[in-house]
A = this chain, B = another copy of it.
């Protein structure tokens, strides 16, 4: 859930009064080589951008009450990059020379900062390990090839040298898909796609764009937007994730109701494997099964390096509105989303928070003009008179795009369904805020982590009839896990990404760190939630991939034989386990 602000406020870099000085120089160092900007080595986002609770008057009390952590506590002392014990590079000179020959010598880098930046993604586990100085294995060399030929050269050089290759996009992965196995004896090469950041072609008649895999979300949308187009794919990681990363993890964006998941958006692919290049055509549909395109989507670097893709693009919408609604219960909100998705209304996004996430949204509101205003006004009294439990209010957003008539008609259809489920229309203000703030969430995790709280997210998808039982089961299991850990914990949820047959449930949880072994506590809670997903008929992740984090639930999700099939595919295509070994199946 995003921190809410007043209507009309632009998304700006968040002030960070407590920001640590530990990283500026180091981050610069990482950036120098190739103009490829990386996130902070120790957390989410760019240097100089951070969350703060100082301008959110209710947040301290809220977190204190529900998580037992006082945000006014000064952040814990910073770990300096120089304090890290970074293992030396094991890359043999012959490999470095071969990589230089393929990508240009200036694009082959072995500094500790480069190798640390490319060791982990940004999961809570990754951050905790970094903070603990836990770096058993880093890539031995980072290479920044500038085109597909260079990538083919790099991949072949890796194969010839008996080394291992891990493709790296924005580094935003939170499923443990990026780190080399701790016991990997062979040289490890991180292939950073950051220089592959161009929209190469827009086929306007076909509404398809050919795009290099290393482009970050905002850069992609800027390039498309300049020509009047949008891809419309906006996962929460949007600002720091890449097209290739989206494809490699079977990503889904908040606007999937209209634009589709990445598997729908991706039509043609080019993927480099040792000694060969896989090319699928940008045809809209095909009977050539088993679909090679679908094998490559979600392959997390284990089937090669995605160099470019043909993706669907849409004309920038004539009109766009995100409307806010209140429901008297999560049950009512979920039922409304279910009915909307079967109705004649076209929506861009559908989302409803449970009462807890709604309360959190109110608590992150800056001023009395924001969301909090809505419920401190006459609306409160109105709802009370209608018999609403004000503590059970659930905030919902539905997005609309299209010509003026279509937006009007779709809004009217949705309003009717919302009312049938006891909900009310709140209006455009909250929706505008949601749209502006939707990429800020990950900063909050780092901020509270510095102040003693462990927070993370877990997402699943299930059939409509299974969503509420799953929701209740996760709540119970999370509470039981908090009890086992002996902490006051918090778990909240929203439904997003409606499909014909079901939807995604996205859980955020937080609890106070009480020991010096936070990963043990984290595993108890995260494990309980994931187990609840698969026990209740959900999938292990709706859009965050398998990686290493979720691999232990794979057989329960897609059956042991299904897991075996994935292993058989990977083993047959990459028998020497050169390509990101360890991810998905061991």
A-side interface residues toward B, CB under 8 Å?
A: 203, 205-208, 249-252, 256, 261, 263, 267, 273, 276-292, 294-300, 303, 310, 312, 314-315, 338, 342, 344, 346, 402-403, 405-406, 409, 461-466, 497, 499-504, 537-546, 554, 557-562, 564-566, 568-569, 571-573, 584
Contacts and interface: CB of A to CB of B under 8 A. Distances in A.
A338 B203 CA distance: 13
Contacts of A500: 207, 284, 312, 314
Contacts of A461: 283-286
Nearest to A300: B289
Given A203-B465, A276-B561, 12 more contacts: A205-B465, A206-B466, A207-B500, A273-B561, A278-B565, A284-B461, A287-B545, A287-B546, A290-B303, A290-B566, A294-B295, A315-B342
B542 A287 contact: yes
B463 A287 contact: no
A540 B288 CA distance: 8
B288 A558 contact: yes
Task: Return the 6 tightest CB-CB contacts between A and B, nearest first.
Answer: A289-B298, A284-B499, A294-B294, A284-B502, A568-B572, A206-B463
A579 to B, nearest CB: 13
A205 to B, nearest CB: 4
A250 B280 contact: no
A144 to B, nearest CB: 24
A572 B251 CA distance: 27
Contacts of A568: 569, 572-573
Residue among A288, A315, A346, A572 with the most chain B CB within 10 A? A288
A333 to B, nearest CB: 15
A544 B287 contact: yes
Contacts of A566: 290, 292
Given A290-B295, A464-B207, A561-B277, A504 B405 contact: no
Given A273-B561, A295-B294, A572-B572, A338 B288 contact: no
Contact of A499 (B277, B285, B298, B497): B285
A557 B250 contact: no
Contacts of A560: 276
A249 B291 CA distance: 11
Contacts of A543: 285, 287
A256 B291 CA distance: 18
A409 to B, nearest CB: 7
Given A206-B465, A280-B559, A346-B346, A249 B565 contact: no
A250 B289 contact: yes
A303 to B, nearest CB: 7
Contacts of A499: 284-285
Contacts of A538: 281, 283
10 contacts: A249-B287, A267-B501, A279-B561, A281-B537, A284-B463, A288-B546, A289-B300, A315-B342, A344-B346, A571-B572
A562 B292 contact: yes
Contacts of A206: 463-466, 501-502
A13 to B, nearest CB: 30
Nearest to A295: B290
A75 to B, nearest CB: 33
B286 A296 contact: no
A132 B569 CA distance: 41
A502 B207 CA distance: 9
A503 B205 CA distance: 12
A516 to B, nearest CB: 33
A544 to B, nearest CB: 6
A465 B206 CA distance: 5
B573 A565 contact: yes
A576 to B, nearest CB: 13
B541 A283 contact: no
Contacts of A300: 289
A410 B301 CA distance: 43
Nearest to A503: B284
Nearest to A298: B289
Nearest to A545: B287
A282 B315 contact: no
The residue in A294, A501, A558, A564 that gathers the most chain B C-beta atoms within 10 A of its C-beta is A501
Contacts of A559: 277-280
Nearest to A569: B569
A288 to B, nearest CB: 6
A289 B564 contact: no
A288 B276 CA distance: 25
A463 B402 CA distance: 23
B561 A287 contact: no
A315 B546 CA distance: 35
Nearest to A468: B205
Contacts of A344: 346, 402-403, 405-406
Contacts of A584: 289
A256 B285 CA distance: 11
Contacts of A544: 287
B295 A497 contact: no
Contacts of A297: 289-291
B296 A290 contact: yes
Contacts of A540: 286-288
